[in-house]
């Protein structure tokens, strides 16, 4: 314990920076110039070290991106099978309650409709039953832009019905967005004079 305290007390911090915070050369800098590479190499070969050199450690490969490795094909298949089984179990429960499992199936039109409804709620033009409408213009714009991106990425891959549905959703939402943003940008109008009739 005393030895450890002694080592800690011998620890000294010295500022080795060559420049001040103003960018000027420090006059009290004790930095010694590094010896030329040839001298340093000669010095290291002429001295005998009593400390064994550690084996060079291989450099870790630099991560190419933050994206994790995808699951293997067998992992994906096992996950897919488990998902399908859970879906079948849910479908069976829905059927027992007197509903059709077809109501749960996702289609392109249902996906577009869910984004459409989300954007309309974000614009404050729809709200949940019993709830108050709220306006989230940034969220609405992002949802509308998502629909636009889907339209761009799926060009040539949609049926005429799907294409028409998507274009109608985009048209209506963009018009609604413009109307809502214009309405919010207008200054509030003062009430006009009240005219009464004497009679």
What pLDDT, in 10s, does the model give residues 60-70?
Answer: 555 566 888 88
Where b means 16+ CB within 10 Å and e means fewer, 9-30 reads eeeeeeeeeeeeeeeeeeeeee
Give, for 167, the enclosing helix (H) or strand (E).
Answer: helix 160-185
pTM: 0.55
Residue, of 156 and 25, whose pLDDT is higher = 156
Provide the percentage of residues in the chain whose pLDDT is more than 70: 62
* pLDDT, average across residues 45-54: 48
Helix (H, G, I), strand (E, B) or coil at 25: strand
Query: pLDDT averaged over the chain?
Result: 78
What residue has token string 């994790």? 68
Residue-wise DSSP of 39-94: HHHHHHHHSPPSSPPPPPPPPPPPPS-SPPPPPPHHHHHHHHHHHHHHHHHHHHHH
**Residue 46 pLDDT:** 45
The per-residue pLDDT for 43 is 44
Q: Which residues have C-beta within 8 Å of that of residue 112, sequence separation ≥ 6? A: 147, 150, 162, 165, 166, 169
Between 141 and 54, where is the model more confident?
141
């Amino acid at each position: 314990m005393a030895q450890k305290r002694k080592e800690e007390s011998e620890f000294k911090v010295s500022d080795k920076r060559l420049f001040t915070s103003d960018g000027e050369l420090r006059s009290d800098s004790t930095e010694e110039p590094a010896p030329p590479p040839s001298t340093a190499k000669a010095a290291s070969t002429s001295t005998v070290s009593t400390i064994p050199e550690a084996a060079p450690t291989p450099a870790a490969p630099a991560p190419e991106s933050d994206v994790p490795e995808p699951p293997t094909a067998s992992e994906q298949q096992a996950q897919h099978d488990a998902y399908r089984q859970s879906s079948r179990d849910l479908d069976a429960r829905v059927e027992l309650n007197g509903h059709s499992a077809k109501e749960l199936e996702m289609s392109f039109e249902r996906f577009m409709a869910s984004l459409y409804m989300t954007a309309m709620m974000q614009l404050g033009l729809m709200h949940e039953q019993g709830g108050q409408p709220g306006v989230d213009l940034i969220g609405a714009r992002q949802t509308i832009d998502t629909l636009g991106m889907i339209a761009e990425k799926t060009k040539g891959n949609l049926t005429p019905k799907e294409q028409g549905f998507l274009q109608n959703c985009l048209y209506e939402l963009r018009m609604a967005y413009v109307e809502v943003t214009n309405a919010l940008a207008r200054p509030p109008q003062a009430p006009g004079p009240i005219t009464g009739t004497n009679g």
